[in-house]
Amino acid sequence: MIAGIVTGAFLQLIMPNGSDLVIPLYLFDFSVRGFFVDGVFEVIGQIFVASLRMLVVPLVFVSLICGTCSLKDTSKLGRIGGKAIGLYLMTTAIAISFAMSLALFVSPGEGVNMASETTFASKEAPSLAQVLINMFPSNPFASFAQGNMLQVIIFALLFGIAIALSGQAGERVAKIFTDMNEVIMRLVAILMNIAPYGVFCLLAGLFTDVSLKTFGNLLVYFLVVFFALLVHGLVTYPVILKVLTGLNPLVFLKKMRNTIVFAFSTSSSNATIPVTLETATKKMGVKNSIASFTVPLGATINMDGTAIMQGVATVFIAQVFNVDLSITDFLMVILTATLASIGTAGVPGVGLIMLAMVLEQVGLPVEGIGLIIGVDRLLDMTRTAVNVTGDTMVTLIVGKTEGEFEKDIYLDDKAGTQIEEIDFHHLKEQ
């Protein structure tokens, strides 16, 4: 990750403002941007993200079925779901309330006078009824094909419950899924081999063109969001974790490192699911019966980092357009942002689409998004890192309080860090 950022910064130095460096060679002109940024970095980076995303649907489906049918008592599911959803909503509400208070205090939009350069097409906020209806698939294969995670989760839960209730036939099917789970986890391990190159290429490409200097008026906005994200990740989460579980939060943060790097470089909680799931189970000791449910659920409905950006952005845009927000407006923002996050998946840039819904609810001009879009890429990366940290923390809390947790693994520094040796030789022999 660091090598990628340094390489990108260096390339930016020699090719400022999106320019190219062309080196005339004997037979042809060599374009540094064309070869590296638009070539190698783009290709490897995108292949890396695609291969992570490729794993998400099969992994979630199979491991969630294994998780559900291994729960001794399936009525526990309701309680686990309630706890997870309650915690997800609570942390999101805390995040956005804190972000808005901070933004009101710093006033990043005061005195900023700028015309928005980009137009932004808004979308209507889905109604709560629609969100609930949409969770249930009418065609599970369509849900797989579209990667609609909430629908995949619901289908897998029902399927798992049915397996658990089907006696011997259920046991036979469960065995197949347990074996499949092994195979898919192995596939995750195989693809993790390209992760360092993928992360390097994504970040090198990105940092070639991103520059803090061009932020100008938006620097204060950027810093407020960034600071709020840091506080939420490094103070609020550790405090919640300590209070609700008594576990040492430093161990948690240390074990989150890898997952954070993935989230940061892919900007997608969804694509990071395979890594988050591994971290929660192998490094932190939460049983798969809990993590296979709460991790994908969190990646879909829990977006604290995104809520923070939305809180600050709403205050910023209101200030730029000289609109006074009432207390009711604030409560409305908190409510809409929290609910909007349920219906939208964790993919890059989705936070801005949700922001459009929030702005509309309180009558702020949606064009305001055009003002902040320029600095959103870096913030997207950072808030995704916060989002996955929140997912993992809630998973840990639910696992610990349900007794589906092994403390020895949590305390073991080395747990889950051994790189699995993959022996390709016998494949060749075959």
By CB under 6 A, the count of residues binding ligand ASP is 15
Is residue 411 within 8 Å of 292, Cβ to Cβ? no
Cβ closest to ligand ASP, residue 306 vs residue 319: 306
Q: How many CB atoms lie within 10 A of CB 254?
A: 11
Question: Measured between alpha carbons, how far is 400 from 224 in angstroms, rounded to an integer?
Answer: 33
Closest alpha carbon to 384 in 412, 347, 356: 347
Q: Is residue 12 near ligand ASP by the rule CB under 6 A?
A: no
> According to the binding rule CB under 6 A, does residue 380 interact with ligand ASP?
yes
Q: Which is nearer to ligand ASP, 285 or 351 (CB)?
A: 351
Contact status: 387 vs ligand ASP (CB under 6 A): yes
Contact flag: residue 383 with ligand ASP (CB under 6 A)? yes
Looking at residues 66 to 95 of the shown chain, list those that interact with ligand ASP (rule: CB under 6 A).
none
Cβ-based burial of 283 (10 A; exposed 0-12, middle 13-18, buried ≥19): buried
Of the candidate residues 45, 233, 296, 348, the single one contacting ligand ASP (CB under 6 A): 348
Q: With contact defined as beta carbons under 8 Å apart, do 250 and 241 qualify?
A: no
Binding segment toward ligand ASP, per CB under 6 A, in 45-53, 142-150, 262-270, 363-371 = 262-270
* Member of 99, 164, 275, 350 binding ligand ASP (CB under 6 A): 350
Q: Does 232 bind ligand ASP (CB under 6 A)?
A: no
* 389 lies in the binding site for ligand ASP (CB under 6 A): no
In this structure, what is the dihedral angle of CA atoms 317, 114, 349, 304, given to the nearest 10 degrees? -30
Whole-number minimum distance, CB 271 to ligand ASP, in Å?
8
The interface region with ligand ASP, picked from 44-52, 126-134, 232-240, 381-389 by CB under 6 A, is 381-389
Give strand pairing partners of 22.
31
Where would I find the H helices in 74-194?
76-106, 128-134, 140-146, 149-164, 167-192
Asked if residue 351 binds ligand ASP (CB under 6 A), the reply is: yes
According to the binding rule CB under 6 A, does residue 160 interact with ligand ASP?
Answer: no
Amino acid at 354: M
With a CB cutoff of 8 Å and minimum separation 6, the contacts of 22 are: 29, 30, 31, 32
**Residue 296 binds ligand ASP, judged by CB under 6 A:** no
Give residues in contact with ligand ASP (CB under 6 A).
Answer: 267-269, 303, 306, 346-351, 380, 383-384, 387
